[in-house]
Structures are given as structure tokens and as C-alpha cells.
Amino acid sequence: MAFDIPVRANLRFFRCLSDSLSTWASHIPILFLASFLATILSAMSGTLLLGSLYAGFAMMILRVHQGAKPHLRDLFGQIIRFARFFSMNIFVLLFFIFGMVIIAVPVFLSSDVFAFLFDAFRQDVARETPWVIAIGPEYIEKFLAEKNITFYAAVLASCLLFFPGLIFAVKCFYIYLLAADRGVRVDEAHVESRKAVERYGFFRHLTLLLAAIGILVGSIALANRIVDNALVQFCIFLLFQPLVLGIFASAYNQTLCQEARQWENYKQQFSEMRDELQTAHDMQMGLLPQSSPELPGFALAGTCIPANSVGGDYYAYRYLDEDQTKLGIVVADVSGKAMEAAVTAVRFNEMLRYECQNRIAPGDILDGLNASLEGQIDPSTFITCCIAVLDVTTAEVTIASAGHCPPIHLSERSQFLDLAGYPLGIPAVVRPETPYRAIRLTLKPGDRLVLYSDGVVEAQNAQRDFFDNERFVRRLEHASPSQQPADLIADLVSDVTSFIGDARRTDDITLVVLQRDLSPDLASTP
């Protein structure tokens, strides 16, 4: 029973009683026979088979509640695991007694209370009813008339003695049925039973337990009052015993039905969410370049791999002039994860499209983006962004950054391009009023420019080690100069994935590599 699935408490008290009564009335002969066998075999085995037989008896009644016919084979279906159920009996009994002893010790330290209870017990023995400590009306009248404080203390002591054990018994409401139905161990069955009782209402289960005890005690009292024959009294007890077990079986069946409905709702919601995420994923992937532009003298490739179905990483290529000699390469990372970040990335794409009009300098584009984002996104959300503008006629690259990972220029030596700049979307009251600074460099034949997101260098393995900048740069430096950017990116992604191993990927991975050919053929200026 998947009790860990959150469900609405909906255990119906009267349905437990009606289910138990209807099952009992419909199958009296076989239930009576099962009751007889369970009782006799338990007694003959010295209670060794007690737990397994009654667990099987309860499962037999549960099958009837679920629409099947009762079979005696269900009664004996748990005997093979009798040791587990016997240990369960010891577990329940010990903790029941332990709960009572906690209260009993201070109570019985009072000699007056002990003397009163002992006297009551002695008089009951004289009445030849050693199994009941009965306090008759004449005792109550006498003590009330004499205002004997011992009587009140005894009543209070009796309640206190019973209460801790009763609390534990209620929490064990499903323990035998769980062990029989799911085959779980004693500790697991107790934990799951306690969760179910708390979820569906402690007092509702307390009422059901008291009702079961009332039916059992009432049947014994009825038998004693109707007949004096011990055999007939025993048969009446056997007759009503299935009615008691039916209450437990009905409650358990209700929880199963309720959680089955909840599980179906969960699967439906999951399916709808999966469809929505797939739509969002397709929409986000549709924003990314489907192919890299053909650049004479250069090779360009990029990839974006969300950590979830959708994410906040983004990259784009945009020509910034009509002659298509100035190519803007944009890499951005929205703070946050999954759907929230993806929605912000979609909005950022539309703003980028607008801000790139009539602007060529990357610093100006970032200034425009920052102004457009003011008040348009959540104050706790920000966007890091790096823009590199390539002049395909001169191989000059102008780069500006808004708090993004520093680009890497791979030439005779590798170099991190440290570009100070605050992220986009930071509220005006906390960000400095300074324009974004840009730097210029010229790509020589064979040079590479690498733009990436922090999901690369901050990838963690199971030991919580980072992939880190040093490892990343070392991997870039070892790449063959003739290797194409698309192949290099594939190798880098494979390296990061292998490094992460079985650990959970927590951030998106974005990589863009611009490479100047070893034998460049730059476009001529129009």
C-alpha cells in the first residue's frame, strides 16, 4: 500500500461496519469454519501460528470485500511466514505492555490503590469469574456514598493504564494486513501502518478499534447471558469473530481504493505535465539555431542541453547589419531552473530580437536589454549574458559580458577574457549606473573563441567535485587544431557527462565554439 502518496483522509466509519456486516451475513458458513480453524490451530500451536492464521483470515475477508469468493486456502496462505508474524505478535505485545508499565509503576506505588484493586480481584475470584475484574454497582454506590478517594484513584489508574497501550494498538491498525498483503518486515509494516492511521485520522481508527473490541466483548457477554453451555458460548464467539476482522479488512480496502484513485489522478497529472513540458521543450529548442551560418574562413557550432525537460540556458546567432558582415553570437543563462527559467528565456529571446535592431556594439545591445528587462521579470530573477560580435571581413571580435562566464580565447596560449559587468534584470536601486565594457581581439588562423554556461565548469560528480575551469581549459588545449567545432563540442559534452557519471545533472550545459580556419578565406568588404 503506497501510503507515501498524499491522499485526502476519507475513511468512512459506517462503511466499515456495513461492509463487515454484509460480508459476514453472506458467507457465515465458511467464515465460521475459518474462525474455528484459526482459533483451534492457534491454541494447538501454543499461539505460534496465531499471527499468521489471523493475518490469513483477514486477507480472506479482504478478498471478499474486493469482490472475490472466500477460500480457505487464503486462511493458510501466511503460515509459511509464521516466524515473521510471531515476532510481530511479540513486538505489539511488548510495546503495549511497555506503554502500560510507564503509567503503572507510579500508580501501583500507591498502596491504597493496589489494595483496592487486589481486593476487587479477590472478590471476583470468589465469584468464579477470574477473567473479569468486575466492580459491581454496589461497590460504586458504597464508595460514592463514603466519598472514598480510593475508588476515584482506581478508575483514573485503570484509564491511564489502558490509554498508552491503546494509542500504540491504534497505530498498529494495519500492521498484520500490510505484512500479509505486501510481505514487508515488522518495522516497515509498523511505520506504514502509523502513516496510514495519521493520514486517515487517528480518532477515526480509534473509534473503529473500540467498535471491534465492543463487538468481541459484547458477543462474549451475550453468550454468557443466553446460555450456560461453554461449547455454545465458544461457538457464539467464533460466529462473531469474522465480524471484527471484517472491520479491519474494510478499512484497509478503503485506503487501497482511495490511494488507487489518487495514483490514477497522479498518473493523469503527470501525463499532462509531461505533455506540457514536451511542448515547452519543443518551443525552447525551436528558439535555438537549427544550424550554424556559413561563414567564409570560419567554423561555428553550438549546443544547449537542458538539465531538465526545459531550462534557462539560451544561445543565438544574429546578423546585425544588412550586408551580413557583422554576426552577433549570444549566450545567456537565466537564473532558476526548469519551466520558470524557460519562460523567462522565451521572453528574453523576443527582447533580444528587438534590441539587436540598429545596434552593432555588444555593450549597446546589453544596455538595451537591461532597460527592456527593467520591471518585466521577477526581482529575484536575473540573466547573465555574453555577446560576441564577429566582423567576418576582418576576423575582429568585439565582446561584452553581463556577469556571464568569461569567454576563452585559444591562440598561442589560452586566455580567459575577464569582462566585468552586472547581470541583466538586476533592480536599478542595487546595480551601478555604468555602461557595459567591451574588448576587441582579432582571431588568427586556427584560433578559437569558446562561449559557455556555468553548467559546464560547475558540473559535479557523485563525490561533489567540480569539472572546474582548469580541467575545461586543459581539455580545450589538448584538442587537435584541425578538429571542427561541432566535433569538439561533442567531445566536450561527452567528457562532462562521463565526469558527472551517476550523479544528478543540476544545471544546463551550453557551448558555442567559433574557430578561424587554418587557411582562412575571409569575405571581402563589399
Residue with cell 466509519: 13
Distances (CA, A) of 263 to 7, 181, 267, 276, 399: 9, 18, 6, 20, 52
Q: Which residues contact 392 (CB under 8 A, 6 or more apart)?
A: 295, 296, 297, 298, 325, 326, 327, 522, 523
DSSP state of 3: T
Answer for the pair 406, 417: CB distance below 8 angstroms, yes or no.
yes
Domain with CATH 3.60.40.10 in the chain: 289-516
Residues 225-268: tens digit of each pLDDT = 888 888 888 888 889 999 999 999 999 988 888 888 888 887 78
Q: Which residues contact 399 (CB under 8 A, 6 or more apart)?
A: 362, 386, 387, 388, 389, 407, 417, 419, 438, 439, 440, 441
Q: Helix 362-373 and helix 338-355: axis angle, to 10°? A: 120
Q: In whole angstroms, what is the distance from residue 124 CA to residue 139 CA?
A: 12
Residues 311-354: tens digit of each pLDDT = 678 899 999 988 889 999 999 888 766 566 667 777 888 888 88
pLDDT of residue 373: 83
**Chain mean pLDDT for the chain:** 81
pLDDT of residue 38: 92
| Grid cell of 376 as nine digits | 518585466
Considering just the CA atoms, what is the radius of gyration of the chain in Å?
Answer: 38
More confident residue, 414 or 344: 414
Q: In whole angstroms, what is the distance from residue 129 CA to residue 225 CA?
A: 14
Q: Taking the model in full, what pTM does it have?
A: 0.54
Answer for the pair 406, 451: CB distance below 8 angstroms, yes or no.
no
CATH topology for 289-516?
Answer: Phosphatase 2c; domain 1 (3.60.40)
User: Quick one: average pLDDT of 390-404?
Assistant: 93
pLDDT at 120 over 60: no
